[in-house]
A and B are shown apart, each in its own frame.
Chain A
């Protein structure tokens, strides 16, 4: 049966078939693509602006800016300002505080992730996942306040205990018995701040463990922990490393909480328990109010170095995490 053609209507002219997108699609794709690349533009602009503003510092201070320990800006009688600026002590402090945060935070995060993925009953699990997410959305100034007024009195006591029994280990010794506002306490607060991100990445990776391998382990008679040790941890370990590096990036850049707790001293200090430390982000906040001229530029240069550090750590972390997640599929 042929298709009914209404009387009086002409056969419509055949449409031209083309693979060229319509104008509306061209505009749409163009606009969306340009927005897509805006992130790249922004990131490049951040790097360029901070580098250009800080360039003068790099050229006058040279490599000394990274290795120097002093931060002196003095004006002599003639009104000539001399600068001696170096962020070496702050770099050492940043690494120290972040290391404490990782050493404390990562094992805890892994245990929470394991608990949530393999041990917790379903109902408790959803609740606790929300709590971890909520922890991530606490403002950093709140961590600063809580760390200073609630955690510090307790943590000072813990620091004294550690010092009393372990002071023969070089890193736990202290030149003077002053334990408040130490890198140890700042590291503890940072540990709490990085736990949500490390936990959620680890959880995501653990959940991607191939089910056949899990079931194979159980079928061979493995206990739960035996299964985790034989299947989950080998599979997820690189993802945990990636998550820890994401946490490290966060710890590098954390400003307000660390500034509130840490006692900034322009001298390299490796004694974790001793109340003197450094942190690049906190240095910027500390000196910002009174900085003028070249000092402001030096702070922008310090910001540039911080930006580079976090960028490198983050990119490596994302690379590791995405590779692990892909290998499970």
Chain B
């Protein structure tokens, strides 16, 4: 007796025959839209999108009402509205990425990563100078902000998940409120609390302080989510073996959540890497390389972009676009790193 291979059936799958009406509907509305645009005074991309959407949803609705009765009316209208709304949301993302690459690549040149703007002006032709100073400044900012906010964020998350003290619900509330602090307010705070009152003047250090305020809530909330995912069996096992809470947390809970905590850090860095507003008050803004993060003005990628944008000449704006391209590549790679780490953890 031989076994027969049974192919799993998928009766709900869409057959080619069922796809014909929708194909007809969409191509039909496409041609009608073209005709409308050709023979009426309505012109342009906007009119095309609007009419194509109108015609196709109308045809789709009529078709499903004829096929399935009046019940299908609301169903189809709602589905086309939801689908159209989603399309409108995703269009700008692709437009933003596309524009950044197209305009940013035009501003790339040989010395972009090897020179600062010390001997060049933003108004010079694009080939001169570079953004090395801004890159170094951004790295300093990220590094110092990490040193401050990662321990604080993870410790706060530990308080919320491990200690669960009497104030933890209140602290949870405060952390959420803190994540809504506008970046400009963080900059003003560091200006009035540190630059005006302490010997620390506008520098990478002061800028990093402002960024840390924005980074702490992000790190805390993500770490908290990750720590909550650590099974409580592990904690109980540690305690049952006679370990103190300190040993349990340090040798079991935190290592178990390691990848997630790294993800939290990366997400925090991605949150602050592009912040401009707080740096306007705290960084000073230099055009040459400053290797001392504790003294004197420094620069940063978003600040470089900001400067190019506010000068407003074609050359300076071209520099701004290439600066934002470098910045977005940085943010994107952080984002992808966080994603890969996050999914790795889930697979385990």
Contacts and interface: CB of A to CB of B under 8 A. Distances in A.
A120 B283 CA distance: 45
Interface stretch (A61-69, A130-138, A209-217, A267-275): A130-138
Nearest to B77: A225
A224 to B, nearest CB: 7
A223 interface: yes
A50 B180 contact: no
A306 B93 CA distance: 29
A144 B324 CA distance: 11
Contacts of A314: 176-177, 179-180
Interface in A205-250: 223-226, 228-229, 246, 249-250
Q: Is the interface of A mostly helix, strand, loop or mixed?
A: helix
Give the 4 A-B CB pairs with smallest separation, nearest first: A139-B274, A253-B182, A36-B159, A111-B85
Contacts of B173: 315, 318
Most buried by A among B176, B180, B274, B281: B180
Contacts of B99: 146, 149-150
Given A53-B192, A149-B99, A229-B78, 19 more contacts: A21-B245, A22-B244, A36-B171, A37-B171, A40-B170, A50-B185, A109-B89, A114-B82, A115-B82, A128-B86, A131-B90, A138-B274, A139-B274, A139-B305, A223-B74, A229-B74, A288-B280, A311-B180, A314-B179
A195 interface: yes
15 contacts: A32-B163, A35-B155, A111-B84, A139-B305, A140-B274, A142-B100, A142-B324, A143-B96, A145-B309, A145-B320, A253-B185, A255-B276, A285-B280, A303-B189, A315-B177
A157 to B, nearest CB: 7
Contact of B90 (A128, A145, A157): A128
B182 A39 contact: no
Interface string B171-197: 101111111111111101101110010
Contact of A157 (B46, B152, B217, B324): B46
B96 A46 contact: no
B86 A111 contact: yes
Interface of A: 21-22, 24-25, 27-29, 31-33, 35-40, 42-43, 45-46, 49-50, 53, 107-112, 114-116, 119, 128, 130-135, 137-146, 148-151, 154, 157-158, 161, 192, 195, 199, 223-226, 228-229, 246, 249-250, 252-256, 260, 281, 284-285, 288, 299-300, 303, 306-307, 310-311, 313-315, 317-318
B236 interface: no
A253 B183 contact: yes
Nearest to A307: B185
Given A49-B193, A145-B321, A256-B306, A225 B78 contact: yes
A310 B181 contact: yes
B71 A139 contact: no
A226 B75 contact: yes
B71 A37 contact: no
Contacts of A310: 180-182, 185
B192 A49 contact: yes
Nearest to B82: A111
A318 B170 CA distance: 12
Given A310-B180, A314-B180, A25 B246 contact: yes
A158 B196 CA distance: 46
Nearest to A41: B174
B83 interface: yes
Interface in B71-106: 71-72, 74-75, 78-79, 81-86, 88-90, 92-93, 95-96, 99-100, 103
Given A45-B193, A288-B280, A146 B95 contact: yes
A25 B180 contact: no
B277 interface: yes
B277 A281 contact: yes
B348 to A, nearest CB: 18
Nearest to A224: B75
A313 B179 CA distance: 12
Given A32-B163, A142-B324, A306 B182 contact: yes
A39 B216 contact: yes
A291 to B, nearest CB: 11
B306 A141 contact: yes
Interface of B: 44, 46, 71-72, 74-75, 78-79, 81-86, 88-90, 92-93, 95-96, 99-100, 103, 151-152, 155-156, 158-160, 162-163, 165, 167-168, 170-171, 173-186, 188-189, 191-193, 196, 213, 216-217, 220, 244-247, 249, 270-271, 273-277, 280-281, 302, 305-306, 309, 317, 320-321, 324, 327-328, 331-332, 335, 339
Contacts of A139: 273-276, 302, 305, 324, 327-328, 331
B96 A142 contact: yes
A136 to B, nearest CB: 9
Contacts of B317: 149
Contacts of A225: 74-75, 78-79
A255 B151 CA distance: 28
Contacts of B90: 128, 131
Most buried by B among A112, A158, A226, A313: A112
B248 to A, nearest CB: 10
B79 A50 contact: no
A223 B73 CA distance: 11
A284 B173 CA distance: 28
A137 B89 contact: no
Contacts of B162: 32
A53 B188 CA distance: 10
A39 B217 contact: yes
B183 to A, nearest CB: 7
Contacts of A33: 159, 163, 165
A262 B88 CA distance: 23
A45 B216 CA distance: 15
B244 A25 contact: yes
Contacts of B160: 36
B49 to A, nearest CB: 11
B155 A36 contact: yes
A91 B305 CA distance: 28
B83 to A, nearest CB: 7
